[in-house]
């Protein structure tokens, strides 16, 4: 079963309007592989601006939403607010939300469930820390994080899973194609055993963690790597080569 290659850009807390103009310029000139789904994750304050100038072949995501529709949650935004502004995607469970802002597996799962119920599509992030990998706990961690989400949601149709080993994020220490493929394959097997074979075969599992134009092609060759979630490199023209890495 073929899965449409998916490349997300996670701009994190970066950008000014003029820098966004520059990013949009290289996305427009591309050319971007038409067989690849491209979504850029934009800081909340710039979502409307970015959406107004992005080319039609690039979609847009928020970087966080809360677990309920409205209320006394100063500083938060809801899935309904993203949808009200024509934003169809959201990135949830990023390791920076988990490790810097203390989001638990439970909270991430509740956020994913509410975002899907509201009608958003979700890039759901999982990934182990270096000490967990060194302790041989990679599978245990990513299965635990995935199960927490599975226990709360009814369908994986609008979910892209992003495996982002924390030790590879922003470090330049990219997982090797073999390391990434091994975890992606185990995750797909987890879906087969715990959800169903159709989900296992159709859910896109993308890799994130120091993806560059230099390593994307080799990673893209792996059968269970369905794309990327790119941080630093998504702010630069090299992002076009990463989008096109599969073909
Ligand atoms: O956090 C990341 C990856 O960041 P880098 O590509 O900068 O390692 N994606 O969400």
Q: Output the six-digit token pair for 23.
A: 């990013």
Cα–Cα distance between 245 and 129 in angstroms, integer?
27
Catalytic site includes residue 247 = no
Ranges of beta strands (E only) in the chain are 5-10, 36-41, 59-62, 89-92, 121-126, 159-163, 204-207, 227-230
ipTM higher than the 0.90 cut? yes
Cα–Cα distance between 92 and 102 in angstroms, integer?
13
Which residue, judged by its Cα, is nearest atom 5 of ligand 1? 231
Taking every pair of C-alpha atoms in the chain, what is the biggest distance, in angstroms? Answer: 48
Task: State if pTM tops 0.90.
Answer: yes
Provide the residue-wise pLDDT of the chain in tens; the chain has 247 residues.
689 999 999 999 999 999 999 999 999 999 999 999 999 999 999 999 999 999 999 999 999 999 999 999 999 999 999 999 999 999 999 999 999 999 999 999 999 999 999 999 999 999 999 999 999 999 999 999 999 999 999 999 999 999 999 999 999 999 999 999 999 999 999 999 999 999 999 999 999 999 999 999 999 999 999 999 999 999 999 999 999 999 8
Sorted by sequence, the CB contacts under 8 Å of residue 51 that are 6+ apart come out as 42, 60, 85, 86, 87
Position in ligand 1 atom list of the atom nearest CA 10:
10
Residue with tokens 């209320």: 71
What's the CA-to-centroid distance between 228 and ligand 1, angstroms?
9
Dihedral (C-alpha) 146, 246, 209, 54: value to the nearest 10 degrees?
Answer: -90
Catalytic residue among 37, 94, 114, 132: 94
Q: Output the six-digit token pair for 183.
A: 């975890």
Cβ neighbours, 10 Å, residue 134: 11
Residue 146 pLDDT? 98
Catalytic site includes residue 184 = no
């Amino acid at each position: 079963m073929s899965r449409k290659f998916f490349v997300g850009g996670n701009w994190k807390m970066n950008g000014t309007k003029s820098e966004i103009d520059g990013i949009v310029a290289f996305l427009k000139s591309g050319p971007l592989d038409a067989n690849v789904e491209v979504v850029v994750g934009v800081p909340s304050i710039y979502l409307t601006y970015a959406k107004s100038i992005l080319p039609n072949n690039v979609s847009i995501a928020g970087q966080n939403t809360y677990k309920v529709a409205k209320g006394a949650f100063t500083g938060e935004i809801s899935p309904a607010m993203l949808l009200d502004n024509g934003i169809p995607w959201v990135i949830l469970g990023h390791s920076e939300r988990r490790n810097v802002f203390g989001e638990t597996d439970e909270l991430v799962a509740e956020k994913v469930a509410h975002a899907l119920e509201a009608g958003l599509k979700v890039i759901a992030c999982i990934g182990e820390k270096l000490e967990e990998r060194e302790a041989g706990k990679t599978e245990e961690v990513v299965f635990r994080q995935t199960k927490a989400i599975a226990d709360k949601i009814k369908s994986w149709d609008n979910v892209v899973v992003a495996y982002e080993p924390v030790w590879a994020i922003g470090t330049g220490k990219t997982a090797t194609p073999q390391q990434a493929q091994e975890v992606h394959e185990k995750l797909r097997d987890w879906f087969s055993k715990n959800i169903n074979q159709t989900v296992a075969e159709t859910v896109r599992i993308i890799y994130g963690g120091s993806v560059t134009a230099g390593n994307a092609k080799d990673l893209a060759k792996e059968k269970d790597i369905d794309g990327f979630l790119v941080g630093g490199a998504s702010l630069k023209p090299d992002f076009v080569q990463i989008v096109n890495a599969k073909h």
